[in-house]
Amino acid sequence: MIWVVDPGHPEPRASLGTVLREWGRIGCTGFGGPPAHIALLRRLCVEREGWLDAAEFEDAIATCNLLPGPASTELAIFCAWRVRGRVGAVAGGLAFIVPGLIAILLLSALFLAGTPPLWVKGAGAGAGAAVAAVALQAAWTLLTPSWKRAAGRDAAGRGDGGEAGRAARVRWAFYLGAGGTAAAAIGPWLVLVLLGCGGLELALRSARGTPAAALLLPGALVRGAVFPVVGAGVLGSVGWVAFKVGALSFGGGFVIIPLMQADAVGRHWMTAGQFLNVVALGQITPGPVVQTVAAVGYAAAGLPGGLLAALVAFTPSFAFVLLGGKYFSRLRGNRAAQSFLDGAGPAAIGAIFGAAVQLTRALHLGWQFAVLGGAIVLLFALRRGVVLTLLAAAATGVIIVLAGGPVPR
């Protein structure tokens, strides 16, 4: 598909002020994570203004899902790039990110304070107890489409219901299990498993021997990135965590939890209960869920740590669009990219299941497990939204602790 005459320099379709206003509005009202962001962007860019046609928008969604990092943020930056070029991409991306970033940093200052008020402790304990249910729902939502995708492909990437198709499904199950096991057992190094699964699938689907190097490339990339931050102090460690979240993670959303948890808790930047709090904050604030990493950075090094984490985590998203936006239409149909994602994608889903296990382990009080059960009912049986579920859990926690119930340490 040819989107513009010169895709490297999209012609302006709206003023810079319009981009700032509309993307800022989405950044302020985009509660509910990527599905909400995609719906708001579609309504603005396709249905209301006609800046992009429906097919182009759907292709952009698919392409952003092939990239590491927060897909809905990349989609927002890409749409702004198509509407107003590179300046628009930067302005629109910042307008989309900054409102939620300010909100999560302010809430972090409240919830991570040395002696927060009792009602704040209750709200955090209640919302934190429901986070595992939200992770479980996120993984379950992704599971069926991913399985159908695997069931319809053979080892060369073409649909086949025979032996090759069965082999593809076996590999899918292996990748799913590898991601779940890694998230539950070796969280900080989950990125190696995600990249390794993608590289393995790419190598197996290739008719040539050279792509086997893809198995070695992920490890080299990660080693090259981690060694410079070893011994670089707290800010260096914060930067590494944010880099994993923004540049080396596939699947977005809850995949970032195991990538952050071991560092955040293991390095004593926060307690396990506080980590549950910040994950909940990332869900109830508008804008990208990935900005949860800013709360981790805040816990580690105050406001400078929070800002550094956000800068490192979101810079790759801008780079992907500004440097590669004109190639997005080609990436959409790239078999190697599709093959890599067919390995990394199931591993990412498994990682979300593993994250749910880790989040449940962080609970200690009986009433928190009851709140978790109630959240599962709200999300799966009653089909309520994530934000409503977390707010209800937070309110329950406030009522319990104010009534004299135990508070997590």
Residue 48 CB neighbours (<10 A): 10
Reply yes or no on whether the pLDDT at 348 is more than 50. Answer: yes
What separation in angstroms does the CA of 317 have from each of 89, 136, 155, 249?
10, 26, 31, 12
Q: Which two tokens stand for residue 17?
A: 């002020």
**Residue 9 pLDDT class (50, 70, 90 cuts):** low
Q: How does DSSP assign 157-189, residue by residue? A: SS---SHHHHHHHHHHHHHHHHHHHHHHH-GGG
- Rounded Cα distance between 293 and 255, Å, is 12
Q: What pLDDT, on a 0 to 100 scale, did the predictor assign at position 249?
A: 82
Burial category of 140 from C-beta neighbours within 10 Å (exposed 0-12, middle 13-18, buried 19 and up): middle
Q: What pLDDT, on a 0 to 100 scale, did the predictor assign at position 309?
A: 97
Q: What pLDDT, on a 0 to 100 scale, did the predictor assign at position 156?
A: 46
Q: What pLDDT, on a 0 to 100 scale, did the predictor assign at position 302?
A: 95
- Rounded Cα distance between 100 and 102, Å, is 5
Closest CA relative to residue 137, chosen from 359, 341, 338? 359
- Rounded Cα distance between 129 and 358, Å, is 12
**Residue 212 pLDDT class (50, 70, 90 cuts):** very low
Reply yes or no on whether the pLDDT at 206 is more than 90. Answer: no
Q: Is 256 left (phi over 0), alpha (psi -120 to 50) or beta?
A: alpha
- Rounded Cα distance between 264 and 257, Å, is 10
- Stated pTM of the model: 0.85
Q: What is the mean pLDDT of the chain?
A: 86
Q: What pLDDT, on a 0 to 100 scale, did the predictor assign at position 151?
A: 67
What separation in angstroms does the CA of 178 have from each of 112, 118, 200, 336?
33, 40, 12, 21
Angle between helices 272-284 and 71-111 (to 10 degrees): 130
Among 2-6, 197-201, 238-242, 391-395, the minimum mean pLDDT is found in 2-6
Q: Average pLDDT of 172-196? A: 89
Residues in the chain: 409
Q: Which two tokens stand for residue 196?
A: 């390794």
Q: What pLDDT, on a 0 to 100 scale, did the predictor assign at position 161?
A: 53
| Domain spans in the chain, listed from the N-terminal domain onward | 16-97, 98-401
The SS3 call for residue 288 is coil
**Residue 8 pLDDT class (50, 70, 90 cuts):** low
Cα–chain center distance at 297? 16
Closest CA relative to residue 328, chosen from 21, 37, 61? 61
CA angle 198, 199, 201 (to 5 degrees): 65
Q: What pLDDT, on a 0 to 100 scale, did the predictor assign at position 153?
A: 60
C-beta separation of 279 from 292 below 8 A? yes
Q: What would the pLDDT profile of 128-168 be if each residue is shown by its tens digit? A: 999 999 999 999 988 988 888 776 664 444 544 567 778 88
Reply yes or no on whether the pLDDT at 77 is more than 60. Answer: yes
Q: How does DSSP assign 299-344, residue by residue? A: HHHHHHHHHHHHHHHHHHHHHHHHHHGGGHHHHHT-HHHHHHHHHH
Reply yes or no on whether the pLDDT at 272 is more than 50. Answer: yes
Q: What pLDDT, on a 0 to 100 scale, did the predictor assign at position 216?
A: 40
- Rounded Cα distance between 188 and 192, Å, is 9
Among 109-113, 183-187, 278-282, the minimum mean pLDDT is found in 183-187
Q: What pLDDT, on a 0 to 100 scale, did the predictor assign at position 209?
A: 46
Q: What would the pLDDT profile of 275-309 be if each residue is shown by its tens digit? A: 999 999 999 999 898 999 999 999 999 999 999 99
Among 2-6, 93-97, 160-164, 180-184, the minimum mean pLDDT is found in 2-6
Q: What would the pLDDT profile of 16-45 be if each residue is shown by its tens digit? A: 999 999 999 999 999 988 889 999 999 999
The SS3 call for residue 206 is coil
Residues 6+ apart with CB under 8 A from 20: 91, 92, 95
Q: Average pLDDT of 107-128? A: 92
**Residue 374 pLDDT class (50, 70, 90 cuts):** very high
Q: Which two tokens stand for residue 158?
A: 């073409």
Question: Which percentage of the chain shows pLDDT scores above 90?
Answer: 62
**Residue 223 pLDDT class (50, 70, 90 cuts):** very low
Q: What pLDDT, on a 0 to 100 scale, did the predictor assign at position 187?
A: 73
Q: What pLDDT, on a 0 to 100 scale, did the predictor assign at position 259?
A: 86
